[in-house]
Amino acid sequence: MDNCHYISSEMLSLGKVQQIITEGLTLEFSEESKINIQKCRDYLDNKMATNDDAIYGINTGFGSLYNIKIEKEDLSKLQENLVKSHACGTGSEVPEEIVKIMLLLKIQSLCYGHSGVQMVTVQRLIDFYNNDILPVVYTQGSLGASGDLAPLAHLSLPLIGEGEVNYKGARVHASEVLTEFGWETIKLQSKEGLALLNGTQFMSAYGTYILLKANKLSYWADLIGTMSLEGFDGRKEPFNELIHMIRPHKGQIVTAQRVLEFLDESEIIEQKKQHVQDPYSFRCMPQVHGASKDAIDYVTKVFKTEINSVTDNPNIFRESDEIISGGNFHGQPLALALDFLAIALSELGSISERRTYQLISGLRGLPAFLVSNPGLNSGFMIPQYTAASIASQNKQFCSPASVDSIVSSNGQEDHVSMGANAAVKALQVVNNLETILAIELMNASQALSFRSPLKSSPFIEMILKTYRSEVSLVEDDRILHYDIINTVKFLQTIQIEEDLMK
């Protein structure tokens, strides 16, 4: 089926996740995943029937209660109690787009056949995904080790008819949706609750969503920065490949090449310049934007590994006849990467705000605050304040979460990653970056109007024409809040014809 994605061991890329989400593909088991799940479950059932040894999380308590053996007749109740007791999330709701990615990644991880879940359990998660039944999950509660316990507990509650879901635009109790579809609640078997709750899918879903957005905004940063360079009557020599080949960082080279492509056939860039140099925020775009690109590439590699991994505990290896308790749930790789990503994105916003500041400063033939009658009109004075405020907030969000840890579970879980906190604030950073770039676009497009009759490149002129159909030129003061909002929408809706996803 063309509108279907078959869950298998085939490597998920960010681009594939984006395709699944944006094209509305439904999920189905591949034959491979069915075999993996069933063979693992059969192995575990046989192991439990023939073995009385204590196996962590399967017939024992959890965390510091690992030494308490649970009777066979209570194993199902043990798993149900686990899901209920761990549903302690607080704070705001996780955005529905991210919850949907959480479902996708949890399904993917369970289908490798190392988790011991029932086929019916994973099928129900697939049913939730395919019918846009999105559990209500909260942003606070995960330490990012032992997995994202609280968020994943809320993701799993609807399986047992508990918790709330967002469905058809309404927030309803999960039992109502189960009744509507004629679904029975899932009776969790040994190990299943732990398989559902142990895992990094909260952090992974946030990171995946942020990276998808970050790649697009990295492109926009190059394009808008180039428009600002034109508006500021900047020079193109700093983008000459000779400079970048003697310091060949990949992102730096890509940025310089891209800027020159954007400038191709521009009249403005070719006119004689009255100045020898441009400020760093223009001249050093390849170095600064490029460093952020390289950081995004590194973080992409981390998350590509993670979303194609098994991260619950313990792990079942039927070929080796072993059930091993380890620590794949620990979010340290993600926590470090998310902190790094936030810093990289914050820097794109920081240099963008500086370009905005230069454009409104009354330099190089531009009027103060980019209006024809400054004084009577304040023009673009205050959007720069807004950008500066947001850029500074991003710097505050960049205090790393990953350097923090706190002891939990009576000392059994004595080092945690705090990757969930890193994920939540990294999302705020990327959303803030979008607004900062929108404000720069407002200023750059306004500045370019004062370079008439000279034209920028055909590509930039095309972007400007499309943008002006959404946000008109500012002749006299008006409420610029609406322009900011509409510019953000413009950045979100314009499709970038670029293979950004690795």
List 6, 43, 56, 209, catalytic entry: 56
Report how far residue 415's alpha carbon sits from residue 412's, in angstroms, rounded to the nearest whole number: 9
Residues 134/138/142/144 CA torsion (nearest 10 deg)? 50
CA end-to-end distance (rounded Å), the chain: 25
Q: Are 165 and 174 in contact (CB under 8 A)?
A: yes
Report how far residue 340's alpha carbon sits from residue 337's, in angstroms, rounded to the nearest whole number: 5
Report how far residue 194's alpha carbon sits from residue 185's, in angstroms, rounded to the nearest whole number: 18
Backbone torsions φ then ψ of 369, nearest 5 degrees: 60, 20
Residue type, 266: S
Instruction: Using CB atoms within 10 Å of the CB of residue 50, give its burial: 0 to 12 exposed, 13 to 18 middle, 19+ buried.
Output: exposed
As a 3-state breakdown, the chain gives helix, strand, coil percent values, each rounded to 5, of 60, 10, 35
What are the angstrom distances between the C-alpha of 195 and each of 144, 364, 390, 473? 16, 62, 40, 56
Q: Are 119 and 34 in contact (CB under 8 A)?
A: yes
Q: Up-side HSE of residue 286: CA atoms within 13 Å toward CB?
A: 24
Check if 167 is active-site: no
Q: Which of these, 484, 454, 453, 487, lies nearest to 468 by C-alpha position?
A: 487
Report how far residue 351's alpha carbon sits from residue 437's, in angstroms, rounded to the nearest whole number: 10
In the three-class reduction of DSSP (H, G, I as helix; E, B as strand; rest coil), residue 229 is classed as: helix
In the three-class reduction of DSSP (H, G, I as helix; E, B as strand; rest coil), residue 28 is classed as: strand
Read off the DSSP letter of residue 186. Answer: P
Active-site residue list: 56
